[in-house]
Structure 1
Amino acid sequence: MILEKSVVEYLDNYHIGKCYNSYEYFGAHMIHAKERKGVRFTLWAPNALAVSVVGSFNEWDDNIHQMERLNDNGIWHLFIPSIKEGEQYKYKLILPDGRHIYKADPYAFHSEVRPGTSSIIVDLNQYNWNDSSFLQTRQAYNPLTSPINIYEIHLGSWNVKENSTLEDDIYKSLHPKYFYSYREIADQLIPYLKEMHYNFIEILPLMEHPFDGSWGYQVTGYYSMTSRYGTPQDLMYLIDTCHQANIGVIFDWVPGHFCRDEHGLLYFDGTPLYDGIDHPNWGTKKFNFYRSEVRNFLISNASFYFEKYHIDGIRVDGVTSILQMNFGLDNETYVNEYGNGEDLHGVAFLKELNTEVFKKYPYAIMAAEESSSWPLVTAPVEDSGLGFNLKWKMGWMNDTLQYISMDPLFRKGSHDLITFSMHYANSENFLLPFSHDEVVHGKKSMIDKCPGSYEDKFLTLKLTMLYQITHPGKKLNFMGNEIAQFIEWRYYEPIEWFLLEYDAHQRFHHFIKTINKLYLQEKALYEKDYCDEGFQWIDADNCSQSIFSYIRYYNKEDFIIVILNFTPVGYDEFRIGVPYEGEYRILLETKHEPFRKTKIKYVKTEEVPMHNFEQSITISLDGLQGVLIKKKRTKKS
């Protein structure tokens, strides 16, 4: 097959240039060549002595379809006519030592359902998208000044088909027995998201992975969305339907390391082609970010999700392990040329990644799951930052969960666990996560972290969720948090939806729906997340009562006062300073239903100085209660 000059030039440049759409050239593409339909196969394997394509179309005979080496950079290609969509294939590589191995296509767009490992030929351009209105609107989207309320989901365990027993040998029964397909789950999930007022979903990694128990974080197929839940077109339907409902979609992505399964990237052509150092705990290989081909492979992969799947953002997993040669662990096994553990090439990769993404997709969410104190994670690359626009606020999450886990009698001694977060609130553009990682491995579910009686647990969790929704920063909660599930998340079981048959769980579910809706409606809770003028403490020092009070501002006439009482002690009259004279409405009380008052209740200010304000109001404040208060607008406003 004679390739076009532009294709040859691109492939020649792959090993030294910035080729960020490499998925258009590598892999298996259904094309017309010389009036014949077929598939063009292209592979990078510079150290292989020979490569052949084997598959269901040639009875897996490794002698029929030998690939041609295109150039000295190790790019192989072959056009095979008459191959149809759905055919399975692999590459057979002859290694320098004479051995041979069979590898899945690194650029495969679809894969066999595990435990099978073959790649599958598919045409990604056949789906008819219906989200043009959403795509046009998002061009002007600014994540930093918009409400972002994310529902984090693992598709395989959000819900499963009736009578499924996922503890069976998963590898003996394929996905139809257990999982709803992408299409099937769309019809359940999207109405639920709308009902609960989440405006984004973040899906745990969908890239093909061999082991369900890895949750998708040990990847073998970066361009292949897992076949557990159906075809690429089925996933496109899910995303398309989300967009038609004005719900954004974020992919969880793992560009730091890959798993060691033989059919994957490990020692792909008999040499460490993609491979960097070993992770001592995860049993994975770090990517070698020094190689331009590896950077092209990964940055093209990010672009691929935006282009082919219309996603709205990426959560980059394990950023610390990319930044640090020793993965952020307490050792110094590896050092760079300057004698420290910073991975200079990993840093450069992240900057290159974010520069390219925002150049092409300025509306994108690029969120870093970064657990260290690395500076300027969300600063622009031109200002010496890494270039992300959001960073998970892991310190806030850890401090908050530690605080709510304490007996209320001892919380006054750890008051700073709540107040400290505001000391560095604007050092990055933070996202506040209560993610899947916090409800597994013996950490307990969110409600089970809370001490006290059955009722106290629910009251404390309501307080916690109100604290999250009113604290500066975007929001994320893992599925199950919204129904106060008592057991930890198990990837092989669905959420315990039956809990909604119980009054306490149903009321909590309604509470989450209420504050989610309030969050989307009130600009004071999101417009100025990253501005000093968006937040003001009323009283940050009331450790003796474990009561926190602060203001979230949109402007001087539009603000919300937040009062959080983290002890069971209540007060018939609790006085609090307010910034302006007038009438204030009790907007929400966590302890009383309906949570948003149907009968409007106003409190008038008094000229009694309090908390450095000239005016104050008096309200009743029950134990373990949160209250939201909003000033009545004047006529001119």
Structure 2
Amino acid sequence: MQLTHPAFIEPFDLYMFGKGEHWDLYRVLGAHPMAQDGAEGYRVAVWAPSAREVYLVGDFNDWRWGEYPLYPVGVSGVWAAFVPGMRKGALYKFGIRTGDAGGGRIVYKTDPFALYAEMRPGVAAVARDIDNHQWADDDWMQRRAEAGPPLRQAVSIYEVHAGSWQRKTDGTGVGGHPFLSWEELGDGLIPHVQNPGFTHIELLPVAEHPLDQSWGYQTGHYYAPTSRHGTPEDFKRFVDRCHQAGIGVILDWVPAHFPKDDWSLGRFDGTALFEHLDPRRGEHPDWGTFIFNYGRHEVRNFLLANALYWLREFHIDGLRMDAVASMLYLDYSREDGDWLPNEHGGRENLDAVEFLRQLNVVVHGQFPGAMTIAEESTAWAGVSRPVYTGGLGFTFKWNMGWMHDTLDYFRHEPVHRAYHHNALTFSLLYAFTENFVLPLSHDEVVHGKGALLSKMPGDAWQQQASLRALYAYMWAHPGKKLLFMGGEFGQWNEWDESRALDWCLYQFPAHGGIHALLRDLNGILRREPAMHAHDHDWTGFRWMDFSDWGGSVISFVRQCPDREGAPPVLWVFNFTPVVREYYRVPAPGGGTWREVLNTDSEYYGGSNAGNGGELQARTDEWSGGHHLVLTLPPLAGVALMPG
């Protein structure tokens, strides 16, 4: 390769970067193919304002420092150069001489804007370009934009860890590793998601990360899809195929922290560039990671542009943000004296609040129909309320309270559930304070917690019946749905990122029955407006009876009052193994009611107790209302509809 030359960067680009509002920043910084003075090569640029010198090193010069200099671009803190002869696929890093006393140190850093990176354990950036795929999902993208935020749509999310959904043990995976390629994942995953009727796939973080056991939550390269499954082009083709199959794709995104690896963002130019210098604000005590300095314009721009990068360049349909609570509170997981209050003396991280609000405004403004989802585990008010009303502006918030209470209830032996009845009913006191997603996520099936099925008490039949009842209750409850992989067929073993799911269980009818139940639950969810159009307001829900704590029975109606001809769905649950005959349940109307779903059906692996398909509502002489006299199957949920 020839020597480098100074590279021109538009002053407007530098101005917008300084303001923290350059939404295409990833096209300015990083490495991009271009021609200059008749020569082909790459322009490379990096932000390192405290550096004394910056050189490009790579496999093209045996990683020698001092041969390919970058040049300062004014007083912007950006260093850039045109590198004639640099080719796609070249491995590179930046060699940075810091401003330390005594001539400084030389640190070797990967490109923060790398579009691709080596397979672990390598950490070098790989020269790539962005415009490398011809999209064929125009119909999907247009429908998404016209439909707008999916608050009134059916949303049923299948959460996936791409590295362990399936694995190869014969050495034929990507690069000889056990990982399936994006093409192979698409071949198997897309029909597997279509069959039970999930509307979206949510992928655990796919940005490059050096440690498999982190599941992607310790991100090393924010702009590089992991090489474990192929190239960025391969990932784009995967998303394109999902859209053409009618499936949305959500990414787990991690703006809350980043690892301390010496090759990554930390102390990038010898100073605390991306993170706070003071560890009381700049480090996570639990995770041993750095915290982004959300108050610095350039750092905020790095993250904002990254969110837009996935949405624009990969057509991603939503971002689920991990550990939002850790961003919002300065004293998160800290003892007194280990944190610094804000300028008003409070515990709120005002810079992070402003960053999240700006992010949500920009995302929803530029990508109509795309969603942002917060994993926020506290009672922070207005997480999913608009910014103009004082909220954070997320589309949805994970309902962690519902998840904890519900799993705690189902862990109890049925004979004891009467004493925990409020764990079922409490969630309806706050169900409409936010736009909630009900998550049964990866976090609930790891680190000794056991799989969902193994959490259930009793013998194998009761465990499977309880799991079916749990799923029916979750799908009937207001809120969008999220289920981690393996739950769709009732895996017994808790999740292990180093091994594939236990697909062999499909040979057993009871596990196939769980899968069939989810298919029918998703069918009702998608087909009936009553089950999704009013997930986030009281008009879509009405209690029929929640007072039978002794029998562990509840009943309620899902409804869609503003859509003519949309029938209600009456749900009745019996959370004990006792068949309850001649059980009287209030009904929202008279006439014939059809039993449209019964989790105790033999089709799902149940005992087939039920109501023979149809019932006639009876009139209450004293009130003029109506009721049904049912046979309530054991450990089961029943759905009934008029007609």
**TM-score band (shorter)?**
over 0.9
Q: Which residue of 2 aligns with 1:487?
A: 493
- Deviations 1:243-264, CA, capped at 9 Å, x for gaps: 0001000010000100011110
Indicate the residue corresponding to 1:159 in structure 2.
166
Q: Which residue of 2 aligns with 1:603?
A: 615
Name the CA shift for 1:186/1:557 in 2 (closer, same or farther; >3 Å). closer
In 2, distance between residues paired with 1:88 and 1:504? 51
- Counterpart of 1:308? 313
Equivalent of residue 593 in structure 1, options 594, 602, 605: 602
- 1:265 counterpart residue number: 265
2:586 to 559, 573, 577: 577
Work out whether 1:36 is the aligned partner of 2:48.
no
Q: Report the secondary structure of 2:481's partner residue.
A: strand
- Could you list the per-position Cα deviations for residues 347-397 of structure 1 after superposition, in whole angstroms to 9, with x for gaps in the alignment? 111011111111101211100000000000011111100000100000000
Q: Confirm whether residue 20 of structure 1 aligns to residue 23 of structure 2.
A: yes
Q: Please, which runs of 5 or more residues in structure 2 have no aligned partner? A: 277-281
- 1:600 deviates by 7.9
Take 2:96 and 2:34, find their aligned partners in 1: how far apart are those partners? 24
Match of 1:242 in 2: 242
Alignment of 1:134-283 (within 5 A): 134-141=140-147, 142-163=149-170, 175-276=175-276, 277-283=282-288
| 574-583 or 46-55: bigger deviation | 574-583
Q: How does 1:11-410 map to 2 (within 5 A)?
A: 11-97=14-100, 98-141=104-147, 142-163=149-170, 175-276=175-276, 277-327=282-332, 331=336, 333-334=338-339, 335-410=341-416
CA distance in 1, matches of 2:488, 2:353: 36
Q: Is the 1:114–1:174 Cα contact (8 Å) retained in structure 2?
A: no
Distance 1:159 1:462, change over 3 A: same
Q: How many angstroms apart in 2 are the aligned matches of 1:9 and 1:605?
A: 70
Q: Kindly indicate whether residue 567 of structure 2 is the aligned counterpart of residue 558 of structure 1.
A: yes
Preserved contact between residue 593 and residue 614 of structure 2 (Cα < 8 Å)? yes
The amino acid across from 1:614 in the alignment is G
1: distance between equivalents of 2:537 and 2:387?
21
CA contact (8 A) 2:158 2:483 kept: yes
Which amino acid is 1:30 matched to? P
Q: Which whole-Å CA distance do the structure 2 matches of 1:226 and 1:535 have between them?
A: 43
Q: Quote how far apart the aligned CAs of 1:4 are.
A: 5.5
Deviations 1:218-242 (A, max 9, x none): 0110001111111001101110000
Q: Distance in 2 between matches of 1:631 and 1:285?
A: 56
Cα shift at 1:164 = 6.6
Amino acid at match of 1:627: V
Residue 214 of structure 1 aligns with an amino acid whose one-letter code is S
1:17-48: CA deviations, max 9, x gaps?
42222111000001122332210001100000
Which residue of structure 1 lines up, in the alignment, with residue 640 of structure 2?
629
Query: Is the 8 Å Cα contact of residues 206 and 225 (structure 2) preserved in structure 1?
Result: yes
Q: State the distance in 2 between where 1:382 and 1:12 align.
A: 27
Contact 1:609 1:615 survives alignment (8 Å): no
Q: 1:436 to 1:330 in 2, by over 3 A?
A: farther
Deviation at 1:300, TM superposition (A): 0.2
Partner of 1:635: none
Contact residue 391 and residue 428 of structure 1 kept, 8 A: yes
Contact 2:285/2:333 (8 A) holds in 1: no
**CA-to-aligned-CA distance 1:134-167 (integer Å, 9 cap, x gap):** 11111112310000000000000000114479xx
Displacement of 1:133 in angstroms is 1.3
- Counterpart Cα distance in 2 of 1:174 and 1:628: 46
2:372 & 2:284 partners in 1: Cα distance?
24
Tell me, in whole angstroms, the C-alpha distance in 1 between the residues paired with 2:64 and 2:229. Answer: 30
**Structure 1 residue 8: Cα displacement:** 2.5
Check the 8 A contact 1:579/1:613 in 2, yes or no: no
- Work out the number of aligned pairs and report it: 623
Q: Is the CA contact 1:161–1:180 (under 8 Å) kept in the aligned structure 2?
A: yes
In 2, the alpha carbon distance for the partners of 1:152 and 1:392 equals 13
Amino acid across the alignment from 2:452: M
Q: CA deviation at 1:177?
A: 2.8
TM-score using structure 1 length: 0.95
Deviation at residue 126 of structure 1 after TM alignment: 1.7
Q: Equivalent residue of 1:93, what SS?
A: strand
**Letter of the aligned partner of 2:164 in structure 1?**
S
2:631 is equivalent to residue 620 of structure 1 = yes
Change in 2 beyond 3 A, CA 1:542/1:263: same
The Cα offsets for residues 500-522 of structure 1, whole Å up to 9 and x where unpaired, read as: 11222122222222212222112
Give the direction of change, closer, same or farther, for the CA distance of 1:320–1:118 in structure 2 (3 Å limit). Answer: same
Q: For residues 47 and 343 of structure 1, what CA distance do their matches in structure 2 show?
A: 26
Q: CA deviation at 1:599?
A: 12
Equivalent residues of 1:175, 1:229 under 8 A apart? no
* Cα deviation code 1:61-114 (max 9, x no counterpart): 322210000122311000011221111100000011221010000000000100
Structure 1's unaligned 5+ residue stretches are: 166-172, 633-637
Of 107-116 and 525-534, the range deviating more from structure 2:
525-534
Could you say what secondary structure the match of 1:359 adopts?
helix
Q: CA deviation at 1:575?
A: 1.3
Query: Which amino acid letter does the alignment assign opposite residue 160 of structure 2?
Result: I
Cα deviation 1:379-417 (Å, max 9, x = unaligned): 111110000010000000000000000111111111110
Letter in 2 for 1:69: P
Amino acid in the other structure paired with 2:572? I
- How far apart in 2 are the matches of 1:605 and 1:463? 24
CA distance in 1 between counterparts of 2:514 and 2:481 reads 18
Output the CA distance in 2 between the equivalents of 1:500 and 1:332.
54
- Distance in 1 (CA, whole Å) between partners of 2:487 and 2:343 is 45
Contact 1:12–1:71 (8 Å) recurs in 2: no
Helix, strand or coil at the partner of 1:139:
helix
**Which one of the candidate residues 526, 537, 543 is aligned to 2:549?**
543
Q: TM-score, with normalisation over the residues of structure 2? A: 0.94
Within 2, Cα distance between the matches of 1:288 and 1:619?
Answer: 59
Equivalent residue of 2:618, what SS? Answer: coil
2:453 is aligned with 1:447: yes
Shift of 1:124: 2.0
Amino acid at match of 2:42: V
Amino acid corresponding to residue 605 of structure 1 in structure 2: A
Q: What is the percentage of aligned positions where both structures have the same residue?
A: 38
Give the corresponding residue for 1:169. Answer: none
What residue in structure 1 maps to residue 279 of structure 2? none
C-alpha displacement at 1:176, in angstroms? Answer: 3.0
Find the residue that maps to 2:488 and give its secondary structure: helix
Q: Is the 8 A contact 2:478 2:536 kept in 1?
A: yes
How has the CA–CA distance of structure 1 residues 20 and 284 changed in structure 2, closer, same or farther, with 3 Å as cutoff? same
Q: Compute the displacement of 1:328 (Å).
A: 5.0
Amino acid at match of 1:110: Y
**What is the RMSD computed on CA atoms of the aligned residues?**
2.0
CA distance in 1 between partners of 2:336 and 2:567 (Å): 50
**Are the counterparts in 2 of residues 208 and 224 from structure 1 also a CA contact under 8 Å?**
yes
Q: In 2, Cα distance between the equivalents of 1:548 and 1:331?
A: 44
1:463–1:566 Cα contact (<8 Å) kept: yes
2 CA distance for matches of 1:609 and 1:186?
59
> Does the C-alpha gap of structure 1 residues 332 and 174 become closer, same or farther in structure 2, counting only changes over 3 Å?
farther
> In the aligned structure 1, how far is the partner of 2:524 from the partner of 2:11?
56
In the alignment, what sits opposite 1:438? 444
